[in-house]
Structure 1
Amino acid sequence: MRIGELAALLGVSTRTVRHYHQQGILPEPPRRANGYREYGVRDAIALARVRRLVELGLSLEEARDVIADDRSRALSEILAELDADLARQEHEIRLRRARLAEVLEGARTGTLGPDETASPELVALLRAVDLPASKAAAWDRDLLVLMDSMGTDADREQAFGMFGSLAADPEVTARGHEFYRRLDELTDASPDDPRVAPLAAMLADYSVEHLLAHTGLHDWEPGMMEPFLDGLAPAQAEVVRQAMRLIARR
């Protein structure tokens, strides 16, 4: 497979793969007679290992040593180790999703309290922010709950302070309600509906003007929201995807 196919297989960019080559972490295959580098199964496994090691908090230098050791190991042994790690991740994700489902239900029913399931800041924010009764607004609220349940104290303090100040501005609140209304209108629309692109541009402008200005996060990956789009209709999810691509270009 070519470098683009390898990158797509592991959900990274070709720039990331080339960076790992430059750092000496991922061996770079020689060019063939056709001028292209061809990657195989072991290359894909090595890239998967690098990504996982980085997720676990290892530095690139430490990951380089592990990948170097892998070259002397049997492929079947490495695959078995990856499979065991995926099984552990699957178990952990199931536990976290079950816990999150409890928190989300509490948020929906208004019974969420300032105990170990949610911070007092989230409870106060949900009471203060007048979100409309819509599926799009409920999706936004679920993201807030997810942020609260999995973020650090510093993340929560910054995020809830930001959202609280935005909610206190009537003009900003009106724009948010208008966005939710237009997004709900796309519930039964197709992803190529002509209303998608203008609404995506509106969301991108709003995010750059308010969210990014407060957080300073300008290195957004276009696919970072993909895991959270299952709860949206196809056209609604396309709005978020296009907005993320627009933000990434700014």
Structure 2
Amino acid sequence: MAQGLRIGEVAQLVRVSTKTIRHYHKVGLLAEPTRTEAGYRLYGASDLLRLQSVRRLQALGLSLAQIRELLEGVEQAGSLREVLEALLTESERQRQQLEERCERIRALLAREPLRAAEQPAVDGALVQLLQNEFGALAEGVDPALLEQERQLWAVVDEYHWPAPSKQAMQEAMQRMADHARAHPAEYQALLAWGELFTTLSTMAADDPEIERLAQRFVDSDALTFLEAVQSLGEPPSMGAPMEEVMRELFAFQLTPTQQRFMELVQYYATQE
């Protein structure tokens, strides 16, 4: 009478399901063992060792197809070394990616206010244009303002805008940069307000001071500068839907206090 372990006993010993063992048979990882007269599979020590080899290689990250090729190879030791060396290289690459992800998560946790969306790892064309055109003009400005501007445009830069929309954004940015170089005093006034704008995140949205600041901004040279840029001619158009979406993208990056300030500025500007 044939001796051996039933499939359930083997599954318990190796800590896998009977379904997994049957799948190993199906994909050629485990040879069919002898059977009883009633058709039940009977497994021996060689089968247990094979199953353990499969499980250990799988735990290292090898696919079942790779494991089958390794275990069927004539020069198993050499084949295994090559695969494990390649696996080590891939694992080290993944570890580097995990370390970089951890750094990005730490940066997000350190940011106030917290944002659900992660900033792009590489600056896009619009951010680079911003830095190229305004970098020299903004020398000595609070780094917090520069970083907020970079983050705002980085979010917009992540999307694949239609060519006319992207061109309109670039032309608008270029127009503002040209006017800033021609009117540095007014642009410096705008930057001073920009520095103040970054500090609004520390204030409550219902603080009465927000309304007073909005009224002061409407009467400042900063608004005069922005209105002058708009008066230079027909502004580049992205089309109404695209412009609305871009405004919303900007708004999502602002704190509630900053959003309220912008709404009040728009309101008071229309009352003039």
TM range (shorter): 0.3 to 0.5
TM-score by length of 1: 0.42
Question: Larger RCO: Structure 1 or Structure 2 (Cα < 8 Å, ≥ 6 residues apart)?
Answer: 2
